[in-house]
Amino acid sequence: MSLPLTEEQRKKIEENRQKALARRAEKLLAEQHQRAGSGSSIATSSSQSKQGLPPNLPREPPKPVSHGVLFKQQNLSSSSTGDQRPANPHHFHLSTPQQAEGSGKIQEDVPTACLSHSPPSQMTATRVSPPLAKSPPGAPTQQLLCYQSGPASHETKSTPFANTAREPLAKAKSFQKTPASSFGQPHRDPGLDAKAERPSTSGQNISDSRCGSGSVTARPEGRLPQKSGASFHKAVSSQQGTCIRSGDRFQVKIGYNAHLIAVFKSLPSRSYDPATKMWNFSMTDYSALMKAAQSLPSVTLQPLEEAEDSRELPSAGGVVQACLPSAPSLAFVKGRCVLISRARFEADIGYSEHLTALFKQMDSRNYDAKTRRWSFLLEEHNKLIAQVRCLPQVQLDPLPKTLTLAFASQLEKTSPCVPETIPEADLSGVDSKLVSSLLPFQRVGVNFAIAKRGRLLLADDMGLGKTIQAICIAAFYRKEWPLLVVVPSSVRFTWEQAFLRWLPSLSPDRINVVVTGKDRLTAGLVNIVSFDLLSKLEKQLKTPFKVVIIDESHFLKNIKTARCRAAMPILKVAKRVILLSGTPAMSRPAELYTQIIGVRPTFFPQFHAFGLRYCDAKQNRQQKEALLLFFSRTAEAKIPCVIEYVLDLLESGRQKFLVFAHHKVVLDALTKELERKHVQHVRIDGSTSSADRDDLCQQFQLFESHAVAVLSITAASMGLTFSSADLVVFAELFWNPGVLLQAEDRVHRIGQSSSVSIHYLVAKGTADDYLWPMIQEKIKVLGEAGLSQTNFSEMAEATDYFHKDPKQQQIYDFFQKSFEEDGSDRELLEAAESFDPGSGFQDLGGMLDESTLMDSPLKKRRFEFFDNFDSFTSPL
C-alpha cells in the first residue's frame, strides 16, 4: 500500500499533464499538416486509417477530465509498454461493457475509470481525453472520432444511412430511390448499421456519429480500397435484395435475377415457395450464398440482421467483424462433446457461424443461454459428428470411446425418443410349464437376454425369480448344452430342484451336482458346481462349456480370487453367459468390472479405463486392526441396549422378527437372554451346518411360536427366506451396505404379504458414528451409478454429529480408506473373524419360499440412535 499524494503534488502533476497535452497536440497538428500535403483525400484517409491518424484533428487541446479519472488513466498508461496505440482503433469506439468483459484487449484500451465514473452524457469527453493523455504523438484515430461524436451524432442520425440502419428494408429502398445520396460516402456495411442501431450501454452510439459522418477512416484496414470502389458501384447500379430469417431457414427477397437464380440452384438446401415466390435455404448455405452474391455485380444482398448479430457475440473484435463483408470466417474452432446426462450431450466448442447453423438443424437441439452451449440427445450424436466433419473450419471431437460403447444402443438410434424395442423371443422349444409360469417382467427379462444373444448380467432385485429366468434362457440354447451352473455351495441342491421343477423334459439323471473335488465336472447335461469346487476342477475341462450360468455373480468381484481366476476363462470362451445377481456391486462400482468383462470382454478391455471413469479408488492400508478392535468394542458396548430393544419389541406384541448381528459376543448375549426369558427362537451363524440351516429356517417359517431368528450378518444374509417375519433389526452395523441390503431381503421377497420394517440400531459415540455415514456414502455412490435404489437420506441426524469435531473426521477417513481398499471386504471380514472366531464366513444355503406373491411389499427403514446408553428406552 502506498501513501496518498499531497495536495501540492497533485497540483504539480496536473500542471505537468496540461503541458504535456499541449505539446502533444502541437506535435499532432504539425504531423497532420505534413501528411495532408502528400496525397488525395480517399487515399490519405485510407493511409491515415492505417497509421491511426485522424481525418479531423482538433485545433485545441481537449478539456481536462476529473482527477479521479486522470489518475486512473495515468496508472493504466504507465503500466502499458511500447507503442500504446491500439492495434485496431475501432475496438475502442464501439466496445460496450459486455464486449469489454469478453476481451482483455478492449479492457486495456478503454480505461475502466472512464466507463464507471462518467455519466452517459459526459462519456464523450471522458472517452476522448484518456487516449490523448496517454498516447504518443501518433495519436490513434479513435481519439478524434470520439471527440466528434457528441455534436455530430444528431446530424448523422438524420441521414439516410442512419435511417436505414434502423430499417434495413427502408435502406434498400432509399438506395434505389436516391442513389445520389450516397455520393461522397463509402458504401456502408449493413452489418455495421445494424450494430450502430443497438444502443450502447455506455449511453451513446459513438459508431453512429463516426459512420454517419462518412469518415473513411472508420473502415477496417486493408478492406477499404476494393470495397469502396466495387461496393459503391454496386450500391448504385445493382438489384437490391434482402435475407429474411424464417425459423431455421432464411428467405431471399429479391426480384428476378438470372445470375442469382443460378446461384440459388447450386445450393443444396434450396427450396422455392410458390406462394411467396421466394427462395429459401438452410443456414448452412448462408455464407456460400452471401459470398456468391457478392461476386455478382448486378446484385446487392442485404444480409440477415440476426446472423450479423450472432457473428459479433463471441468475438473480441466484434465491431471489426461486423464491418466485414459476410464472407465465411477463417477462424478455426476446436472443441469436444461432453456427456451431461444419461440422455444428452453438449458441444463444448467456441463460436462458428456454420456450426451454429448446423446445430440448429438438429431436432433435439437445446441452447443454454447461461453456459452458451448447445446440447442434443445422444441419438443425434453420430449424425452431428458426421456433418461437422464436412465443415473445414471446425473440429468437434466425438464423445470418448468408452461412452460411445456404453451408450451404443442409444447412439445407434437414428431418430430421437424411439424406445428400444425388444422382440418377443420364440420360446416354443422350451418346456411349456416353464414358459407359462413366467411372470410378465420375467418374460421381458428372457426376451432381453435372447436379444442380447444369451450374454447378460440379470440383476433383478433379490427374490424376484432370477432362477426361473436363467433356466428359461439356458433352455432356449439347449442345443448348445452341456450346461454349467456355478452357484454358492449352499444353493447347489436348490438349483437342482429348480431344474427338476421347471424343466420336466430334463431327465433327473442328466443333472450332475458336483459335491466333492473328486466328482466329474462334465458328467451331466446340466452340471451344478460351487464356486470353490470350480477352482479345483476347472483343469478337468477338455472342451469348453458353451452355455454357463453364474448365480450370485458378484462372487467374482475380485479378480485375484481363485474362484474368479477359474471362472473368467470359462466365461470368455462360452457362447452364452448368464450372470445373476441381486447385488452386482455390493460396495463400489469397481466390483462390476469382472462381471462386465465376463459378459462382454471387449467392453472395457482394461480396468484402467473403467477405473478412471467410474472408480476413485486409492490404495491406502492403514489402521485396520485398531479399527476392527474399535468395531469389536462397539459390539460389546451395545449389548445391553440391544437386548433391551429386543425385549421391548417382544413386550410390545411383535411376534416374529429377525435380529442380525456380526460379533459372536452379541449373538451369544441375545440368545442367552431369549433363553432366559423362554422366548422361542432360532439361531444361524457361521457354525451352523448347511442341513441345520435349512431346518432352522423351515422351523421359523412354519411355527408361530418361533418369535425371533438370531442371525449372523455374514453367515445368514444370503439364500434364506424368512418371509413369515416382517421386521428386521440390525443390532450391529456392517461396512458393506450390500450385505446389509441382502440381509434385509431375507424377509422382503416373494412370499411376503405385509409391509416390511427394517430397524438399524446406531450407537452414538461408538464405531457406528463412522460406519453409518460410510454406509450412506457407499449407498449414495451405488445409487449414483444406478446400482441401488435404496435411499438412506432420512438419516440426516446421523451425518451431522460426528463432523463437529475435526479430529473425529480423521477417524472417519481412516475407516473409509481402510474399508474402501480394493478387495478389503473379504480381507476385513477374515480379519474381523480373528476377533470373533464364532461367526465364520461361509456360503450357507437355505430353503426358498415358493410362494408366488406378485407385488413387492413396501419396505420401511427405521434408525434408532442410542446416544445415552444409561437412559436408553425403546422407541416403541
Ligand X SMILES: Nc1ncnc2c1ncn2[C@@H]1O[C@H](COP(=O)(O)OP(=O)(O)OP(=O)(O)O)[C@@H](O)[C@H]1O
| Binding positions for ligand X, rule: CB under 6 A | 437-439, 442, 460, 462-468, 582, 750, 848-850, 852
Say how far apart CA 544 and CA 310 lie, in whole Å: 64
Nearest approach, Cβ of residue 434 and ligand X (Å): 9
Nearest approach, Cβ of residue 737 and ligand X (Å): 16
Type of residue numbered 594: T
Strands 547-550 and 278-282 turn out to be unpaired
Nearest approach, Cβ of residue 746 and ligand X (Å): 9
Q: Following DSSP, what letter does each residue of 794-843 receive, concatenated?
A: GGHHHHHGGGSSHHHHHHHHHHHHHHHSTTHHHHHHHHHHHH-TTS----
Say how far apart CA 463 and CA 722 lie, in whole Å: 11
Closest CB to ligand X among residues 289, 728: 728
Taking the alpha carbons of 185, 189, 190, 192 in that order, is the dihedral positive or negative?
Answer: negative
Closest CB to ligand X among residues 212, 738: 738
Q: Which residue has the cell 451405488?
A: 782
Say how far apart CA 228 and CA 215 lie, in whole Å: 12
Say how far apart CA 74 and CA 77 lie, in whole Å: 5
Closest CB to ligand X among residues 470, 763: 470
Nearest approach, Cβ of residue 751 and ligand X (Å): 7
Which residues 6+ apart lie within 8 Å of 677 measured at CB? 647, 650
Closest CB to ligand X among residues 36, 444: 444
Closest CB to ligand X among residues 294, 721: 721
Closest CB to ligand X among residues 502, 812: 502
Picking from 150, 306, 160, the residue whose alpha carbon sits closest to that of residue 235 is 160
Closest CB to ligand X among residues 44, 442: 442
Nearest approach, Cβ of residue 763 and ligand X (Å): 29
Say how far apart CA 828 and CA 229 lie, in whole Å: 85
Nearest approach, Cβ of residue 521 and ligand X (Å): 23
Are 693 and 684 in contact by the 8 Å Cβ rule? The answer is yes
Say how far apart CA 69 and CA 204 lie, in whole Å: 19
Closest CB to ligand X among residues 168, 582: 582
Q: Which residue has the cell 408366488?
A: 852
User: What sections of 615-676 are H helices per DSSP?
Assistant: 624-651, 664-676
CB atoms within 10 A of CB 424: 12
Cell representation of residue 676? 432366559
- Identify the helix (H) or strand (E) that includes residue 281: strand 278-282
Say how far apart CA 590 and CA 821 lie, in whole Å: 11
Closest CB to ligand X among residues 290, 484: 484
Nearest approach, Cβ of residue 459 and ligand X (Å): 9
Closest CB to ligand X among residues 202, 717: 717
Type of residue numbered 580: L
Which residues 6+ apart lie within 8 Å of 612 measured at CB? none
Closest CB to ligand X among residues 475, 828: 475
Nearest approach, Cβ of residue 614 and ligand X (Å): 23
Closest CB to ligand X among residues 242, 442: 442
Closest CB to ligand X among residues 164, 583: 583
Cell representation of residue 30? 504539425
Nearest approach, Cβ of residue 487 and ligand X (Å): 10
DSSP symbol at 490: G
Nearest approach, Cβ of residue 462 and ligand X (Å): 4
Nearest approach, Cβ of residue 498 and ligand X (Å): 7
Interhelix angle 624-651/824-835, nearest 10 degrees: 70
Closest CB to ligand X among residues 442, 530: 442
Closest CB to ligand X among residues 439, 541: 439
Nearest approach, Cβ of residue 725 and ligand X (Å): 16
Nearest approach, Cβ of residue 433 and ligand X (Å): 10
Decide: helix, strand or coil at residue 267: coil
Nearest approach, Cβ of residue 675 and ligand X (Å): 30
Q: Following DSSP, what letter does each residue of 387-418 receive, concatenated?
A: HHTT-TTEEEE-S-HHHHHHTHHHHH-SSTT-
Largest pairwise CA distance in the chain: 121
Nearest approach, Cβ of residue 593 and ligand X (Å): 21
Say how far apart CA 372 and CA 693 lie, in whole Å: 63
- Identify the helix (H) or strand (E) that includes residue 174: helix 168-177
Decide: helix, strand or coil at residue 865: strand
Nearest approach, Cβ of residue 534 and ligand X (Å): 18
Picking from 125, 110, 120, 122, the residue whose alpha carbon sits closest to that of residue 61 is 125
Instruction: Tell me which residue has its CB nearest to ligand X.
Output: 465
Q: Measured between alpha carbons, how far is residue 121 from residues 148, 157, 203 in Å?
A: 14, 17, 7
Closest CB to ligand X among residues 580, 771: 580
Strands 526-530 and 511-513 turn out to be parallel
